[in-house]
Amino acid sequence: MASKKKYGERVENFSNKAARELLSLIEHKKTNLSLALDVTTKREFLEIADKAGPYICLLKTHVDILVDFDQDFIEQLKELRTKHEFMIFEDRKFADIGNTVKHQYSKGIYKISEWADITNAHPLPGDGIVSGLKEVGLVLGRGLLLLAEMSSKGSLATGAYTEAAVEMARRHKDFVVGFIAGRKLISDDDKEDFIVMSPGVGLDVSTDGLGQQYRTPRNVILESGSDIIIVGRGIYGSDKDVAVEAQRYRDAGWKAYLERLAN
């Protein structure tokens, strides 16, 4: 069952700083839209982020696809974060043993833990992946999402695997704040809460020819009980007016949430 609680009322369910901040931000900015900004140059990225900024709660990045990534990019990203009041989610999909992911998270060129409020990991390697990331991220107030499901056709993250992801999250509630999934994964319970974010959201097309599968904001938020819609090419794809499309998805996501509360 989808949560009947307002985003703001759920803040108290979390000890994690990033989760609390995100739910408060969604409540006051009135948007459950995350932009998945998969462009490959700094200039394009920063331009689009500036246009969509007023309408999103969370900017989802893949910094390793930028051909001209540098420290200046991070500085400018942080400026936009403050200007528009959104949070940052690096969709890194860590998938290695704890010791390795600890370094991948904090070191290398990207130093993800320094600027990303939220990142994510595959539960595949077992609890060590969460423990390793937690060693770095918890003191910095960061949060982690586990990939319990994927939006792509033929995904193997189903059934017992998805259930095991939920159990893993339950063992690390201070750091694991939620899931990437297509639906709410636990039944309503006052004692536990996880934030569910769903990629594969689009209003105009149903696939991308490479296995992506799109559902509507209404389907994801109202019918499936997810909390945040993640939209990429639906907003910045060719011939799109970024501000117009961002508002359109913001409105659709929020309307579905209000309907869920009223139902």
User: By CB under 6 A, which span of 10-18, 125-133, 148-156, 183-191 interacts with ligand 5BU?
Assistant: 148-156
Query: Which residue from 18, 116, 230, 252 is in contact with ligand 5BU, where contact means CB under 6 A?
Result: 230
Query: Which residue from 232, 242, 250, 252 is in contact with ligand 5BU, where contact means CB under 6 A?
Result: 232
Asked if residue 248 belongs to a known ligand binding site, the reply is no
Catalytic, 153? Answer no
**147 binds ligand 5BU per the rule CB under 6 A:** yes
Instruction: Point out the catalytic residue in the list 17, 93, 111, 173.
Output: 93
Between 80 and 180, name the residue whose CB sits nearer to ligand 5BU: 180
Q: Is 157 left (phi over 0), alpha (psi -120 to 50) or beta?
A: beta
Between 76 and 213, name the residue whose CB sits nearer to ligand 5BU: 213
Asked if residue 232 belongs to a known ligand binding site, the reply is yes
User: By CB under 6 A, which span of 51-59, 130-138, 165-173, 227-235 interacts with ligand 5BU?
Assistant: 227-235
**200 binds ligand 5BU per the rule CB under 6 A:** yes
Query: Which residue from 38, 50, 223, 251 is in contact with ligand 5BU, where contact means CB under 6 A?
Result: 38
Structure tokens given for 43: 């200039």
Catalytic, 96? Answer yes
Asked if residue 128 belongs to a known ligand binding site, the reply is no
Helix H, strand E, coil C: the string for the chain is CCCCCCCHHHHHHCCCHHHHHHHHHHHHHCCCEEEECCCCCHHHHHHHHHHHHHHCCEEEECHHHCCCCCHHHHHHHHHHHHHHCCEEEEEEEECCCHHHHHHHHHCCCCCHHHCCCEEEECCCCCCHHHHHHHHHHHHHCCEEEEECCCCCCCCCCCHHHHHHHHHHHHCCCCCEEEEECCCCCCCCCCCCCCEEEECCECCCCCECCCCCECECHHHHHHHCCCCEEEECHHHHCCCCCHHHHHHHHHHHHHHHHHHHHHC
Query: Which residue from 133, 150, 220, 228 is in contact with ligand 5BU, where contact means CB under 6 A?
Result: 150
Q: How many residues bind ligand 5BU (CB under 6 A)?
A: 18
Active site residues: 91, 93, 96
Task: Please report, as ranges, the residues that interact with ligand 5BU according to CB under 6 A.
Answer: 36, 38, 62, 91, 147, 150-152, 180, 199-200, 208, 212, 230-234
